[in-house]
């Protein structure tokens, strides 16, 4: 059996914890070290895991490895998806791109910019809502700042409709949806309406960066 506690990047072997043949006992310090190294491979040598973000990262890691005990401690439901919120440039997208790599033995989710989905609607119409309401695993990036969709003169709040489709999928098949957003709960409700906001509460675990987190892109 392959050892899921060891990940090879090039010629370097990273240990994420101890594997007893049945389950991995993850070591968060080792996981953070691996994610920083993987982040530098993907985003460039400037990438780093900031000390002030480790609380958010710890919750995300416990979720992605399905540590049920720690998930319960942090009020996270491992069967729901993640809604990662925080100010512009705080690193939401980078972390959601990275944490997938901790569990290469599991089916990964695809990161999709929400604005691309709205632009897709403009080209192919309502079929795009069907396409994203399927059984694939997605993380919709920058939820809430995408434009309204318009196809042959018909306006559509595309991501709102997709969230409703994904909610039905979650109820039927327990397939989670993830998202990142700069918006708070009130802004999301204003953007998508009460019905969608209510569904989001049932679909997502809310994990939030501190509102004063600095913009790491500067």
Structure tokens at 199: 């569904």
**CATH homologous superfamily for the domain 6-208:** P-loop containing nucleotide triphosphate hydrolases (3.40.50.300)
User: Per-residue b/e over 93-115, b at no fewer than 16 CB within 10 Å?
Assistant: bbbbbbbbbbbeeeeebeebbbb
* Contact indicator for 88, 216 with CB cutoff of 8 Å: no
Interval 38-95: pLDDT, tens: 999 999 999 999 999 999 999 999 999 999 999 999 999 999 999 999 999 889 999 9
List 19's β-bridge partners, or say none: 24
Residue 64's contacts (CB-CB under 8 Å, 6 or more residues apart) are 99, 100, 102, 103
Question: Where along the chain do its domains lie?
Answer: 6-208
Closest by CA to 160, choosing from 116, 199, 206, is: 199
Residue 106's contacts (CB-CB under 8 Å, 6 or more residues apart) are none
Specify the residue for token string 């919709």. Answer: 140
The radius of gyration computed from the CA coordinates of the chain, to the nearest angstrom, equals: 18
Interval 27-50: pLDDT, tens: 999 999 999 999 999 999 999 999
Q: Give the model's confidence band at 133: pLDDT under 50 very low, under 70 low, under 90 confident, else very high.
A: confident
Task: Return the half-sphere exposure (C-beta side, CA atoms, 13 A cut-off) of residue 211.
Answer: 2
């Amino acid at each position: 059996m392959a050892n899921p506690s060891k990940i090879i990047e090039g010629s370097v072997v990273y240990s994420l914890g101890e594997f007893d043949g049945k389950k991995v006992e993850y070591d968060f310090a080792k996981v953070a070290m691996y994610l920083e190294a993987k982040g530098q491979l993907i985003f460039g040598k400037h990438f780093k895991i900031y000390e002030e973000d480790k609380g958010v990262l710890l919750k995300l890691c416990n979720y992605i490895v399905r540590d049920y005990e720690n998930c319960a401690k942090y009020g996270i439901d491992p069967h729901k998806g993640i809604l990662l919120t925080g100010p512009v440039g705080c690193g939401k997208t980078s972390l959601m791109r990275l944490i997938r790599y901790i569990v290469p033995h599991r089916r990964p989710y695809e990161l999709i910019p929400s604005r691309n989905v709205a632009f897709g609607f403009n080209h192919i119409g309502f079929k795009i809502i069907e396409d994203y309401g399927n059984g694939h695993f997605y993380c919709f990036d920058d939820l809430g700042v995408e434009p309204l969709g318009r196809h042959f003169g018909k306006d559509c709040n595309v991501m709102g409709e997709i969230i409703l489709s994904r909610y039905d999928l979650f109820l039927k098949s327990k397939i989670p949806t993830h998202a990142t957003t700069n918006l708070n709960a009130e802004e999301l409700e204003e953007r998508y309406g009460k019905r969608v906001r209510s569904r989001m509460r049932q679909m997502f675990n809310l994990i939030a960066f501190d509102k004063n987190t600095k913009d790491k892109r500067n």
